[in-house]
Structure 1
Amino acid sequence: MSNELKTPFEKGNLNQTTTWAECIAWYEDLARRFPNVLRFEKVGVSDAGVPIHAGVVSSDGVFDRETIKRSGRPVFFNNNGIHPGEPEGVDACMALVRDFCLQPERLAALGKTVFLFVPLYNVDGSLNRADTSRVNQDGPEQFGFRGNSRHLDLNRDFVKCDTLTAQVFNQLFTAWDPDVMVDTHTSNGADYSYTMTLIHTQPDKLGGALGEFLRGEMLPALYADMEQRGWPTCPYVNPVKDSPDHGIADFLETARFSTGYAALHHTIGFMPETHMLKPFKDRYASMRALVESALAFTVRHAERIQGLRRAAREEGRKRAEWPVRWKMDEANPDSFRFKGYEAKYKKSVLGEYTRLWYDRSSPWEREIAWYNRFPVDVSVSAPRAYVVPQQWREAIERLQWNGVRMERVEADRMEEVGYYHIVSVASRPNAYEGHMFHEEVVLEKRRGQVLLRAGDYIVPLDQDKARYAVETLEPLAHDSFFRWGFFNSVLEKKEAYSDYVFEDHAEELLRAEPALAEKFAAWKAANPALLANQEAVLDFIFANCERYREPEWRRYPVFMIEK
């Protein structure tokens, strides 16, 4: 191999990762040299104005996306560098693409499968290079930063799409509709013998036959293959207590994360997490092995995977109920034979407390509890369609970026709809990724007449993208648009009162509205301590009276057209 085709990792001391400029220039040169194998191009720009690129490897020189999708060819997607301080996937992908160009037998093994890749996703963070942000990590010598130019973590941005980068990703992913995705990472956490650990789309959340295929066939095959490749792999080490000794749990990757987002499109997703304490060269080698293993399985079973994805979409068109939240089954764990180090405790030299440490001189191997079942916790009845009024542009844009089919209302009309009244909301006490995320939401289902205006959007659920629509528009879903604060203005009552005037008027309202008087009596019985608080008393009457009701206040503004 000529020296110019070696990657920066290979040219260095196996403890170097490429810079963004080196990476892009290297791929552009490779694409010029091998135009029948690789197409590499800009697909968008980041918030800092830095180009974002994607590449396509095809065994027969066909790169046109429409042609590839029209012919039903499988697509395998490798995303790298979402956290540029975890860069082994960036370097491993470079070498793998280069080997597709140089090794005809490797390229031919792709068959009809197309290898789609983003070489370095968080381009902003990759330019913020240092060796200090990954506190516990063993190499490389210099690396990028987790946050992007807006100090946001892109692996929390797939639904809310605050960043231009995530908007580019949503549209790229939707356009190519990959069958399997591998998004490369490095883990923090406990100490153990494994270099490679694996987060996967949680099978119960993926659901149906596709989820069972992942659990029963694909995951066992990947674990066995990684063992043969010399990189024994275990599930992501997510201890249920302070160390793996007490058991580990699957990571319920909701739609804010890459694999959870992929599940909204019925795509099988993997998030390999190499162990931070292992040398960079080992993390690099195990990452390449994992990507190759997942790719080889996809090539062999592509027809089956595609068929299961089609079946999942067809089932979604007819669902009477949709699950929107899942919860770990704590009573019925599975088991996994784990290779760990003895967890011990000793007095800290820094303060008056006991600290955890792992004794590498005391390795162990035994069965541990593996909490890998997540049954449905909350489900909702499926309407025939949702209505998203045109003024909620942020929600509409994201539906469009993800290929959701929508129809415009042609003329103003009154419609009997279902809707949610928002009883209460409890948010995180601190900002989370630029939002006051709503952790707890209590709803009341109601029906009523609303005016649909010409230009509003109807979102039918008889479509392939039904799952994306449901899990973003249903407020109780883990990562719904509502939880991320897209509709916060409806939580604010717009009019107020002057207490000295309203005090007398409130008595009139209680006489005129028997339902209000009944509610007020119940409230007084339940809240005797508040009766001395004029503001609390008058606020209750003002909020619950019919005379001054604001229809839009606390009415969730996405409506449901029932069956």
Structure 2
Amino acid sequence: MQTPYELGNQNQTTTWEACIRFYEALARRYPAVLQFSQIGISDAGVPIHAGIVSADGVFEREKIRQAGRTVFFNNNGIHPGEPEGIDACMALVRDLCLEPERLVALGSAVYLFIPVYNVDGSCNRGDASRVNQDGPESFGFRGNSLHLDLNRDFIKCDSLNAQLFNRFFTAWDPDVMVDTHTSNGADYSYTMTLIHTQADKLGGGLGAFLRDSMLPVIYRGMEERGWPTCPYVNPVQVSPDQGIADFLEVPRFSTGYAALNHTIGFMPETHMLKPFRDRYESMRALLDVTLAFTVANAPQIQALRRQARQAAGGRTHWPVRWKLDETRRSRLRFKGYAAVHSPSLLGNYQRLAYDREQPWEREIDYFTHFAEEAVVRAPLAYVIPQAWRAVVERLDWNGVRMERLAAHRTVQAQVSRIQTVQSRPGAYEGHMFHDEITLETSLQAVELQAGDWWVPLDQDKARYAVETLEPQAHDSFFRWGFFNSILEKKEHFSDYVFEDMALQLLKDEPELRARFEQWKAANPQLLSDPKQVLGFIFENCARYAEPQWRRYPVLSIFEAP
């Protein structure tokens, strides 16, 4: 039973329709090995499917979880213009059905897969959207029907796909995930490169196991299969010869999202300029090698994940931002091409090109460590006012334990106020994304309302809660604009009336007058603009303050009420 790729000229990828028909036929022929079904729909109403391969015919999620069986999860087609993973997964599932020895080798582990995640993009086919890519002849488009990049949507969940994925991932709780991709970037000799969940960010024994045990075996296995593999080529400057660094995959990306769940994640990135056949073959090898390692080391992986989950509920501090540690570097043997700079024929600059006639192999700097940039003290619990339903929904989709308050109560809470915000210019994936913020915090007596949500941190989902609810975290809900309404004052003033009132306010409020004098000294160029002068006084006075303005709604509770 051949796949559409195998039936073609090895420069063609399957269509979504042919892919689904293939799996449905395979599941009918081998019902004791493969279960395949629709799990949801996309924003365009296209069905989304998932499959599971089990050597003993057990497919029920609860039975698999209760038995403590290993779950290996393969996600494909999040960027349908990067389709080799879609085709490789089809062949792997077919081989598991047809080859008894391969199925036996799966043991008690199960192979869980989404054949095509971005189904909208897969159905939007063409041959021109991947500007720098060598084949296949026709492929899908990166954006979904909402023109969203789904590999930026795992936290904000604007798409039905991401909402489904959050629930699906939480229900299955995979031990290892491989999300297949094709790279953009520098040119070099490797067909396969690999992004992994950043080991420092994953943390603890699980991060050390990934870095010291799992990755070396995967790289060695790929070499033995004839597909030498290197870390994802993320140059620290312009070209790889100047050194490369691990990619900090924050939770908007699949591998960063996996880390929130203490799951080891991989994002294989085949090289765009290599022939599609080579990209397909190397992707199949990567799936085989990673699956084999997972099965062989399942008890240790699961034990380390249990330790990570248990530790999460008892942590007193959480890192929420990371930065590259430039003081710690290692050396990597790398096979590259000479970087050549020459005058551009289009503009007044030097253009970069790679000369494949000048290959080189030598050691380069490789930065593999990230340091904690911002660490927060772990509260006993967060409180989310019930009005912020979209936030509560996302916590619920991810299995975060919460309870609704049955009655009013007054508590001592840490209240955060947004002092400054620097937002990314223009839209980013449908949102105003806040790159930089500063906070001012204070302890206050706050009255909680019946129906507000209490989110305790003595749970294994603490990491998801912390990294979404702490405003300064890389991909917090605040950064993604879920609380943008608090950044706007709701009332304003008329200049000709407020001029006299402002003078009186400066007399009545000494603290305001002191701040105003400081502001004038720091901003003399603004003193000729009445809107700036009066606006500063209005926004900083106590008399007309709006308590909810710039006050972050989520409260941190550090003492039991």
TM over 0.5, shorter chain: yes
Question: Which residue in 2 is equivalent to 1:219?
Answer: 215
Tell me, what secondary structure is at the counterpart of 2:527?
Answer: helix
Question: Which residue in 2 is equivalent to 1:400?
Answer: 396
**Higher mean displacement: 543-552 or 53-62:** 543-552
Q: Does 1:270 align with 2:266?
A: yes
- Unpaired segments of 5 or more residues in structure 1? none
Q: 49, 59, 78: which one pairs with 1:53?
A: 49
Q: Does 1:62 align with 2:94?
A: no
Distance 2:388 2:398 in 1: 16
Equivalences for residues 122-161 of structure 1 within 5 A: 122-161=118-157
Tell me, what secondary structure is at the counterpart of 1:237?
Answer: coil
Question: Which residue in 2 is equivalent to 1:356?
Answer: 352
Residue 513 of structure 1: CA displacement? 2.5
Distance 2:348 2:316 in 1: 57
Aligned AA (2:353):
W
Distance 1:359 1:521 in 2: 61
Distance 1:74 1:436 in 2: 39
Aligned AA (2:28):
R
Equivalences for residues 36-435 of structure 1 within 5 A: 36-435=32-431
**Higher mean displacement: 321-330 or 443-452:** 443-452
Distance 1:352 1:484 in 2: 37
Aligned AA (1:344):
V
Distance 2:372 2:17 in 1: 46
Give the TM-score taking structure 1 as reference length. 0.98
Residue 514 of structure 1: CA displacement? 2.7
Distance 1:76 1:168 in 2: 18
Aligned AA (1:93):
C
Residue 497 of structure 1: CA displacement? 1.8
Question: Which residue in 2 is equivalent to 1:546?
Answer: 542
Q: Does 1:26 align with 2:54?
A: no
Quick one: structure 1 residues 520 and 347, their matched pair in 2 at CA, closer, same or farther if it must change by over 3 Å?
Answer: closer
Q: 433, 451, 455: which one pairs with 2:447?
A: 451
Distance 1:497 1:452 in 2: 32
Residue 16 of structure 1: CA displacement? 1.1
Residue 543 of structure 1: CA displacement? 1.5
Deviation string 1:472-507 (CA, Å, 9 cap, x unpaired) is 001101010000000000000111122222222223
Q: 5, 8, 18: which one pairs with 2:4?
A: 8
Deviation string 1:28-66 (CA, Å, 9 cap, x unpaired) is 110011010000011100000000000000010000001
Deviation string 1:49-100 (CA, Å, 9 cap, x unpaired) is 0000000000100000011011111100000000001000000000100011
Distance 2:116 2:489 in 1: 45
Equivalences for residues 515-526 of structure 1 within 5 A: 515-526=511-522
Aligned AA (1:549):
A
Residue 347 of structure 1: CA displacement? 2.8
Distance 1:561 1:518 in 2: 33
Aligned AA (1:461):
L
CA RMSD of aligned residues (A): 1.1
Question: Which residue in 2 is equivalent to 1:462?
Answer: 458
Tell me, what secondary structure is at the counterpart of 2:534?
Answer: helix
Aligned AA (1:246):
Q
Aligned AA (1:183):
D
Tell me, what secondary structure is at the counterpart of 1:238?
Answer: coil
Q: Does 1:481 align with 2:477?
A: yes
Distance 2:276 2:536 in 1: 61
Q: 489, 499, 504: which one pairs with 2:500?
A: 504
Aligned AA (1:248):
I
Tell me, what secondary structure is at the counterpart of 1:532?
Answer: coil
**Higher mean displacement: 323-332 or 478-487:** 323-332
Distance 2:528 2:258 in 1: 53
Distance 1:382 1:207 in 2: 17
Quick one: structure 1 residues 532 and 356, their matched pair in 2 at CA, closer, same or farther if it must change by over 3 Å?
Answer: closer
Residue 190 of structure 1: CA displacement? 1.0
Aligned AA (1:522):
Q
Distance 2:518 2:136 in 1: 65
Distance 1:218 1:65 in 2: 26
Aligned AA (2:506):
L
Aligned AA (1:490):
I
Distance 2:503 2:348 in 1: 61
Tell me, what secondary structure is at the counterpart of 2:234?
Answer: coil
- Unpaired segments of 5 or more residues in structure 2? none
Question: Which residue in 1 is equivalent to 2:31?
Answer: 35
Tell me, what secondary structure is at the counterpart of 2:543?
Answer: coil
Tell me, what secondary structure is at the counterpart of 2:324?
Answer: coil
Tell me, what secondary structure is at the counterpart of 2:297?
Answer: helix
Residue 540 of structure 1: CA displacement? 1.9
Quick one: structure 1 residues 451 and 348, their matched pair in 2 at CA, closer, same or farther if it must change by over 3 Å?
Answer: same
Distance 2:523 2:367 in 1: 42
Q: Percent identity?
A: 69
Residue 227 of structure 1: CA displacement? 0.5
Distance 1:349 1:427 in 2: 35
Residue 419 of structure 1: CA displacement? 1.6
Aligned AA (1:147):
G
Residue 191 of structure 1: CA displacement? 1.0
Residue 535 of structure 1: CA displacement? 2.2
Tell me, what secondary structure is at the counterpart of 1:423?
Answer: strand
Deviation string 1:244-266 (CA, Å, 9 cap, x unpaired) is 11011111110000000000001
Distance 1:35 1:309 in 2: 31
Give the TM-score taking structure 2 as reference length. 0.98
Deviation string 1:222-262 (CA, Å, 9 cap, x unpaired) is 10111111110000011112211101111111000000000
Aligned AA (1:53):
H
Q: How many residues align?
A: 559
Tell me, what secondary structure is at the counterpart of 2:106?
Answer: coil
Tell me, what secondary structure is at the counterpart of 1:81?
Answer: coil
Tell me, what secondary structure is at the counterpart of 1:479?
Answer: coil
Distance 1:199 1:336 in 2: 15
Distance 2:76 2:202 in 1: 22
Aligned AA (1:366):
R
Distance 1:416 1:348 in 2: 63
Distance 2:463 2:175 in 1: 16
Residue 458 of structure 1: CA displacement? 0.7
Distance 1:543 1:344 in 2: 54
Distance 2:126 2:520 in 1: 61
Deviation string 1:376-423 (CA, Å, 9 cap, x unpaired) is 111111100001111111111100100000010111222221021100
